[in-house]
Structure 1
């Protein structure tokens, strides 16, 4: 009689089968627990990602300071960058705080009034009355916006929570940027030894991609804010400075941000006259043309270019899962996913010689 038909062999085979079943069940349970942890800790993970983004920006700026000023110490260059950033923000806030506070209070009063004026103007046209009847009232819109504000945060909610998020991003970002190698080494130790060199390459490419994207986006936000403020001021629209700052900040969100920034400007202009609202609409259209066909292509040549359709799709996906914070961080998270897919799947698994986004842009520039 062969060994495979003996009771001992059958018992060994049964134990091996049970071991495989338990192992598969354990892996499935661990996977489900990981998904649940990611779901419930999504806000905290987004906040950590925002901290990493700020650290990458500080790293990129300190690298520029090291090269231009020939500073040998990374700590000294980072200290100079932090001092300059906080100094500029503090000086700008001290100089513009009274004007911005007054304009913000005025904006809170003007927007609801402008909404009522727009509704009253549109009700003059019979074809639009049925559409207006289905639209929410001004009070309902205000309640919906107020309900969205807590969900727009990363971890804490409310006004004080937003300040807490900013403080965490600032201080954690500085700590990450001060000793980045400490945290990189900690992540690499989680990878098997024979894969650690490749893990360092992937992390370095992610850092380079995010730094290039952040520098380009910062320049684009500055250009958008200046053009909006100057254009609205020339048109005689009230609150031009505040609306320009809002437009510059919302330009961080590609495609959706400029649309969101144009709404309050149009409402305020419409409160003066429909003609001025038309001029403001033309102004924002012109700014988007300049941004889309001149500024952003020039910036993308030196940074990275993400396909527009992919960006919008990821904004919808992350916005559905994570809310407004997911929409705001969708583009840099997409850049990270592109690097991971290209390097870990396309290159390592499929064997194709495809360059990551930042390297593709560098080759196109050359």
Structure 2
């Protein structure tokens, strides 16, 4: 047994480049695990820098200097964000207030519908279970209201943090895009010299992360706009708010789509009942989700869809538990990183020395 372990160790860790890759991965994991809260603004800036690198490079190709290209792209990006903040955000916020106001009525309608189920289907539904579920839901609604008040008070403390983000993140994005090569050279000087294997994995993952971030941003916009148009056509209330939620749900593979479906169904049932309008709205929503999963995602993430759905779900659960939102957001790239490392890791059998004759 010991000899087998020694052979496995020699086969896997005899290459100095493999040791260098292991050290880099371990150091990166420790930094993110212990300092993820402090590095949150930098992570936001890195994501935005990846997103803005493509238009910056295109402006460079037409003759702009790197500084001018980064400045133009950042100003345009901030302008788009301000447009969304002053046009989309107020409407979505107002619809959210209306939705919270109407939630007791929605709950009462749902309770009436659930209470009628034992009479309609006495062999399938137990009245005691329905009453227990309704009582549990009422208790949760009460505690939810108290939590909302506490969160609103606590969120006042976070306004200062948000203000810092609004100032620091754009500055970091500008310098990350403008001085990209200088910063990469500085990082290379810190890394071990025997990093050929790490460079191979980085080259693959850099392209993967670039495509993933751009693809996610594009998917959010396409799915959100298509959902908003579909909800407008069906006449669903809170259409903009629900479309924004559906757009953000693509950040969490599989789980996000399931979670956002519940409020969509709840609002549609409250507004339309189980009539034709409800099924029309629900079918439109299902068609958008089906096109997203079977057409848009394979086109935008041709490499990522090579991962098995179970692997993606496990990656979301594991990395989300480790790093929260950022673990969920980067679950697919991190799973792809593990796959790339496993594929690139050397597997050379130990050399057998022959006795001298």
TM-score tier by shorter-chain length is 0.7 to 0.9
Q: Partners of 2:70 and 2:209 in 1: how far apart?
A: 18
1:281-292, aligned counterparts within 5 Å?
Answer: 281-292=282-293
Asked whether 1:190 is paired with 2:190, we answer yes
Partners of 2:211 and 2:150 in 1: CA distance:
31
Task: Give 1:208 deviation, angstroms.
Answer: 1.8
Equivalent in the alignment of 2:347? 350
Displacement of 1:120 in angstroms is 2.8
Q: Which runs of 5+ in 2 are unaligned?
A: 1-25, 119-124, 349-357
Distance change in 2, residues 1:323/1:280 (3 Å): farther
8 Å Cα contact 2:216/2:251 also seen in 1: yes
Change in CA separation of 1:311 and 1:200 when aligned onto 2, cut-off 3 Å:
same
CA contact (8 A) 1:115 1:267 kept: no
Distance 2:296 2:192 in 1: 44
Q: By how many angstroms is 1:304 displaced? A: 4.5
Match of 1:57 among 51, 57, 63: 51
Q: Would the aligned equivalents of 1:112 and 1:138 in 2 still touch at CA under 8 Å?
A: no
Question: Hey, what's the Cα distance between the residues in 2 that align with 1:40 and 1:66?
Answer: 38
Q: 2:137 matched to 1:137?
A: yes
Aligned counterpart, 2:331: 330
Is contact 2:115–2:130 with CA below 8 Å preserved after alignment? Answer: no
Aligned residue number for residue 121 of structure 1: 113
Cα distance 1:220–1:134, how it changes in 2: closer, same or farther (>3 A)? same
Q: CA deviation at 1:189?
A: 1.9
The equivalent residue for 2:247 is 248
- The 1:213/1:38 distance shift into structure 2, 3 A limit, reads closer
Q: How many pairs align?
A: 309
Write the distance in 1 (CA, Å) between the matches of 2:75 and 2:185.
Answer: 28
Q: Is the 8 A contact 2:237 2:271 kept in 1?
A: no
Q: Partner of 1:123: helix, strand, or coil?
A: helix
1:296 shift after superposition: 1.6
CA contact (8 A) 2:205 2:333 kept: no
* 1:76 is aligned to 2:77: no
Residue 87 of structure 2: which of 71, 95, 106 is its match? 95
TM, length-normalised to structure 2: 0.73
Shift of 1:330: 1.9
Q: How far apart, in 2, do the equivalents of 1:146 and 1:73 lie?
A: 54
8 Å contact kept, 1:212–1:304 = no
User: Relative to structure 1, is the Cα distance of residues 61 and 258 closer, same or farther in structure 2, using a 3 angstrom cutoff?
Assistant: farther
Which secondary structure state, in structure 1, belongs to the residue aligned with residue 253 of structure 2? coil
Structure 1: runs of 5+ lacking an equivalent: 1-31, 352-366
Q: Does 1:66 align with 2:60?
A: yes
1:218 equivalenced with 2:217 (yes/no): yes
Contact 1:51 1:173 in 2 (8 A): yes
The CA distance in 2 between the partners of 1:320 and 1:273, in whole Å, is 38
Quick one: distance in 1 between partners of 2:110 and 2:74? 45
CA displacement at 1:233 relative to structure 2: 0.8
Q: What does residue 267 of structure 1 align with?
A: 266
